[in-house]
Structure 1
Amino acid sequence: MAIRLPDGATIAIATVYGTAKAVSTITNAAPGVLTSAAHGLQNGTFFELKSGWQKISERIWKAANIAANTIEVAGSDTTDTNRFPTGASLGLLREIITWVPIPQVLSIETQGGEQQFWSGSFLEDDFDRQLPTTSSAQSITLGIGDDPTLPGYQALKAAGEKREVRALRVNLPDGSVILYNGYVSFNETPTLTKGQVMQVNATFSLQGRPVRY
């Protein structure tokens, strides 16, 4: 058993991406290996993946065991051909080139992600049944100490104005990483509470599940 504190964690937003590269196939393996001609990525690079395989799509992954035209999608498991049908994996990848730190984070709150259920009964039943369906939409809200001069503030504002999907990286003190991918909304109107730090909020509306390394 292990428990950890987030104290000392740092956060960054992706601001510069490489040109989108076509993904022709991904193998059914653990980890899956994707083929993308002349992709140009390096080992350890993070990239956004869009794929016909919904369960690994719209997420941020790390490249490993690089070859000229192939990339190991570190941490993925696409062995189940029912969930990852052969021939349906083509898509696009974008290398993340630049991360901009977001300092002065006061709070991180998550919303949503709860399991949803169908409930009902057959005519002959005297009790309801329950089946799990989807999880509710999930978002992350960062409370940030107000300082419009900071590059992180400016990056969040620009992404919010363009309604762009951006990657968010949380670097934990033990060296592990949590990666999110979502639309950015930014409220640049600061709180004005006497005796309290002025704060603005940025929200990431997630498009896929987080990935952890």
Structure 2
Amino acid sequence: MSVSLPNGSILSLATAYGVAKPVTAISNANPGVASAAAHGFANGALLEVTSGWSKIDGRIIRVAGQVAGAFNLDGIDTIDTKLFPAGAGAGSVREITGFAQISQVLELSTSGGEQQFATYSFLENDYDSQIPTTLSAQSVSISIADDPTLPGYQALKAASDAKAVRALKMVLPSGSVLLYNGYVSFNETPTMTKGNVMACKATFSLLSRPVRYAS
């Protein structure tokens, strides 16, 4: 049992990607093992995944246990064939080859991700019942002190202008890593309140659930 502060967290935006490489199969295992001929990935590499399995499609996953022609999807349990139908996980991956640190972060907040429900009632009932459906769309908002000369500011602007999907990496003081993937929107007009730091806001509209590694 512990508590922690976010002070010292480092945020980085993906700025460069390698060529997409085909994945011919992913095993039902813990962790799942991806088959990819001559992949060339080192352990610890971060990959954007495209897969027939919606549970991992669009997520950022770390490479582990790499060997010639295969590698583990670090921390991803694909044993359940109801969630990961056998033989349907093929797709492609591309390595993130460059990041720009997002400096001068003032605040980070998230919204969405809540469980949604379908409500129903039978004629003979005098009460409603609910069953879980999907999670609501999730986004991450970052407020940064206004300085257009910084690499992180320029990377956010470029991604927003291109309406591009980019990975966001957050390393916490504990060494824990959070990985997000989504569309970037960036408002270059800073807030202006007398006596307060001028700040610009970036929003990541997530395509998939985040991935977290303890270290």
Provide TM-score, normalisation by structure 2: 0.97
The letter of the residue matching 1:207 is L
Q: Alpha-carbon deviation of 1:69?
A: 1.1
Q: Secondary structure at the match of 2:191?
A: coil
Provide the residue aligned with 1:201 in structure 2: 201
Provide the residue aligned with 1:105 in structure 2: 105
1:1-213 matches, within 5 Å, as: 1-213=1-213
Stretch of structure 1 that moved more, 37-46 or 25-34: 37-46
Unaligned runs of at least 5 residues, structure 2: none
The letter of the residue matching 2:86 is T
Q: Alpha-carbon deviation of 1:64?
A: 0.5
The letter of the residue matching 2:149 is T
Q: Alpha-carbon deviation of 1:132?
A: 0.7
Between the aligned partners of 2:50 and 2:113, the Cα distance in structure 1 is 21
Between the aligned partners of 2:164 and 2:92, the Cα distance in structure 1 is 17
Q: Alpha-carbon deviation of 1:193?
A: 1.0
1:54-84 Cα offsets, whole Å, 9 max, x none, are: 1111111100011121110000000001110
Between the aligned partners of 1:7 and 1:208, the Cα distance in structure 2 is 26
Provide TM-score, normalisation by structure 1: 0.98
Between the aligned partners of 2:146 and 2:30, the Cα distance in structure 1 is 43
Question: Alignment RMSD, CA only?
Answer: 0.7
Between the aligned partners of 2:71 and 2:131, the Cα distance in structure 1 is 37
Q: Alpha-carbon deviation of 1:32?
A: 0.2
Q: Secondary structure at the match of 2:126?
A: coil
1:10-66 Cα offsets, whole Å, 9 max, x none, are: 100000000011111100000000011111110111111111111111111100011
Stretch of structure 1 that moved more, 12-21 or 124-133: 124-133
Q: Alpha-carbon deviation of 1:122?
A: 1.5
Unaligned runs of at least 5 residues, structure 1: none
Q: Alpha-carbon deviation of 1:116?
A: 0.6
Q: Secondary structure at the match of 2:34?
A: strand
Q: Secondary structure at the match of 1:56?
A: coil
Q: Alpha-carbon deviation of 1:90?
A: 0.9
| Identity, % of aligned positions | 58
The letter of the residue matching 1:9 is S
Q: Secondary structure at the match of 1:28?
A: coil
Q: Alpha-carbon deviation of 1:92?
A: 1.2
Q: Secondary structure at the match of 1:160?
A: helix
